[in-house]
Structure 1
Amino acid sequence: MLTYIKERSAFLFINVLLFASIALFLWFVHVPGWLIILVFICWFIPLLTSYLLEFWQRKNYYEPLIMNAQLLDQQYLLSEVVERPDFLEGKIVHDILQSTNKQMHEHVNKYKQMQTEYREYIETWVHEIKTPIAAGKLILDNHKSSDVKGVYEEFEKVEGFVEQALYYARSSSTSNDYLVKEFSLKPCVTNVLKKNAKAFIHNKIQLDLADFNEVVYSDEKWVEFIINQLISNSIKYSQKKEKKIRIFTTMHEHNLILHIVDNGVGIGEKDIRRVFDKGFTGENGRAFGSSTGIGLYLCKKLADKLHLGLDIQSQKNAGTEARIIFPKSKVTLLEQ
């Protein structure tokens, strides 16, 4: 209210000066005092009443406008939830908000379309590139030598990075790509181990796979990708002697946890808090020279969108434990 009065103080001051001048003139010509008071009433009562009505009108419009702007998560929808006012100034503001909102939607839709086209291109490219990779691996399978073996391993790395690119492209819109259903966790883990069988043999890593038969609720394809990334990391950062990876599950009241534990080089205390940051490679990444800092970031991003927990605990030179936390039921998953 005070701000409103201050904005109109100049106009009020001019009216007061004009009335004072007229009142002084009327007093000089011996006009009765009651008539001067009547002129004051007839002058200022309508003026102050119009100010009061104008203030009330604007207050009823701008207060909900400010409140909605504070409460809305998506503030660009403000013009959609506020009614068009019946005074000129408010109409102008409302029309401008709607116009800018419409233009913003057009720009957003344009960039969404560009993103969709780019993603579709990446997906098509990934599926196309898989064919020559598979053909190359098949050719190498028929030529057994130490040199060919190294080339085969490089092909597998390329295949892993290509698959990572596909899931990264899809990660921005998982709602269209994943299907939550019941599936057995053991076959999912076994499929990942089969993919990495040659890496286990080549690196002479002992596998300790527990016997578990639990059923979980999620998207099997996406979960398999996350597990593969975690196991690949365990293989990549294994120690030189007595290498070992243990995989087992533990049951809790509200969830099931899949544990992937290795006795590799481990992660330093200063790096452990940043392992899920995009592009972060840390001390191990610099030492091994083959880390992109995308794998764990992508795993965390997908796990969050699938409403799964993902946690990593590690100690330098002692090993790392990765845990994927599944809700016990589909109802629990959908409530999160």
Structure 2
Amino acid sequence: MFMTYLRERRSWILLFLLLQFLVVFIAYIDSAVSIQSALYYVFLSALIFLIFLLIRYQKEVKFYQELEEAEDLPDFSEREQLSPFEGMVAESITHHFEALKKTVSESEHRLDEEKDELLSWIHEVKTPLTALRLMIDRLEDQALKKEMTYEWLRIHLLLDQQLHQKRIPFMENDLYIEQTYLESVIFGEVKTLQSWCIQKGIGFEIDLEYNEVMTDAKWLAFILRQLLTNAVKYSDASDVQIKSEQRDGQMILKIADKGRGIDSRDLPRIFEKGFTSTAHHQDHAATGMGLYLARKAAQPLKIRIDVESAPGKGSTFTLTFPKSNEFVEITGM
């Protein structure tokens, strides 16, 4: 900070040095002025100027250090004395900060209104969607029924994804950690995808050696929904394997499919928002949101999601649940 201050005041320092040089130069060319007296004057002036610089440094730098280190707007009213320029800076910063805070507040209010309107719209759309499902179930044309069910399911999953996307930023207020049975959660999600799986000839091999886990059942269901949807979407006439095990005191859940797999260059990016694929970039059915939302929802639950995949050989997603003592961080107990 001291070097920064010297650079800021270099015009003062240069002016002082120039004046001292002028005094010595006059003493040199004018025999009436003693060179010893001139040098003595320069020494005293330099000493006084150095003390002056140190005093001003302590006073001025304190103000700017407060600005640099402050995480919020400093309370300038508590300062006993501000120089005229410091007062102007403080007044300008306060004015712009208040204006910015007002703008942010208005923007947050608009976003909250838009979020509430969107959530309301999603809930309203679910009513005719439910009625549409009942009408589809009454269709006698089985081919048409399968096609209609598939399109209905796509709309249902997209609405559900959008609903949870809006809730994820506030999901910590909605968490309810309890003993959860994996079997009931998994079978519930498999049942939702049943018609789609029948259409594609996809089955499930479920081997739950360990069935109980401490987590939030609703959000775990959402995470599994994204992974199972991907497994079904990118697989053809094969089985999706779901297996649980314990390793080092942690519950492990694996979901493996035999679909098209993921290119090695895409693996580091599959959890990024909006990323679809470089190998299948023309796939218009992909939104690039499922895996992103799954990982976002897993973070507050302390669930780690890993993936192993190879093109043409399928993908294996591994969910590692936290140890018992890690739930203290989640529940705050």
TM class, shorter-length: 0.7 to 0.9
Higher mean C-alpha displacement, 14-23 vs 280-289 = 14-23
Specify which of 280, 297, 300 is matched with residue 295 of structure 2. 300
What's the TM-score, normalizing by structure 2? 0.82
Q: Is the Cα–Cα contact under 8 Å of residues 307 and 333 in structure 1 kept in the other structure?
A: no
- Corresponding residue for 2:114? 118
* CA 161–39 in structure 1, closer or farther in 2 if over 3 Å, else same: closer
Letter in 2 for 1:108: V
Give, in angstroms, the shift of residue 271 of structure 1.
2.3
SS in 1 for 2:256: strand
Higher mean C-alpha displacement, 210-219 vs 118-127 = 210-219
The Cα offsets for residues 194-229 of structure 1, whole Å up to 9 and x where unpaired, read as 111222222222221113454333322121111011
- Corresponding residue for 1:196? 193
Query: Unmatched 5+ residue regions in structure 2?
Result: none
- Corresponding residue for 2:101? 105
- Distance in 2, Cα, partners of 1:200 & 1:123: 29
Q: Is the Cα–Cα contact under 8 Å of residues 184 and 215 in structure 1 kept in the other structure?
A: yes
Give, in angstroms, the shift of residue 283 of structure 1.
5.4
- Distance in 1, Cα, partners of 2:20 & 2:308: 76
SS in 2 for 1:79: coil
- Corresponding residue for 2:161? 164
SS in 2 for 1:277: coil
The Cα offsets for residues 302-332 of structure 1, whole Å up to 9 and x where unpaired, read as 2224332112211222121111221122634
* CA 310–83 in structure 1, closer or farther in 2 if over 3 Å, else same: farther
- Distance in 2, Cα, partners of 1:35 & 1:264: 94
* CA 284–51 in structure 1, closer or farther in 2 if over 3 Å, else same: closer
Identity %, equivalent residues: 24
Aligned residues: 325
* CA 296–34 in structure 1, closer or farther in 2 if over 3 Å, else same: closer
1:51 aligns with 2:53: yes
Letter in 2 for 1:328: K
Give, in angstroms, the shift of residue 16 of structure 1.
4.0
Higher mean C-alpha displacement, 40-49 vs 272-281 = 40-49
1:9 aligns with 2:13: yes
The Cα offsets for residues 276-317 of structure 1, whole Å up to 9 and x where unpaired, read as 122222257547542111111221222224332112211222
- Corresponding residue for 1:150? 147
* CA 43–150 in structure 1, closer or farther in 2 if over 3 Å, else same: closer
Specify which of 289, 312, 315 is matched with residue 307 of structure 2. 312
The Cα offsets for residues 7-45 of structure 1, whole Å up to 9 and x where unpaired, read as 312542575488679989x985x9x99998998899776
Q: Is the Cα–Cα contact under 8 Å of residues 245 and 263 in structure 1 kept in the other structure?
A: yes
Letter in 2 for 1:306: L
SS in 2 for 1:282: coil
Letter in 2 for 1:100: H
- Corresponding residue for 2:131? 135
1:208 aligns with 2:212: no
* CA 81–234 in structure 1, closer or farther in 2 if over 3 Å, else same: farther
- Distance in 2, Cα, partners of 1:214 & 1:313: 23
Give, in angstroms, the shift of residue 95 of structure 1.
3.7
Q: Is the Cα–Cα contact under 8 Å of residues 76 and 90 in structure 2 kept in the other structure?
A: no
Q: Is the Cα–Cα contact under 8 Å of residues 261 and 319 in structure 1 kept in the other structure?
A: yes
Q: Is the Cα–Cα contact under 8 Å of residues 238 and 263 in structure 1 kept in the other structure?
A: yes
The Cα offsets for residues 241-271 of structure 1, whole Å up to 9 and x where unpaired, read as xx11111112122521211111222222222
- Corresponding residue for 1:72? none
- Distance in 2, Cα, partners of 1:236 & 1:81: 60
What's the TM-score, normalizing by structure 1? 0.81
Letter in 2 for 1:59: V
- Distance in 1, Cα, partners of 2:179 & 2:229: 25
Letter in 1 for 2:260: V
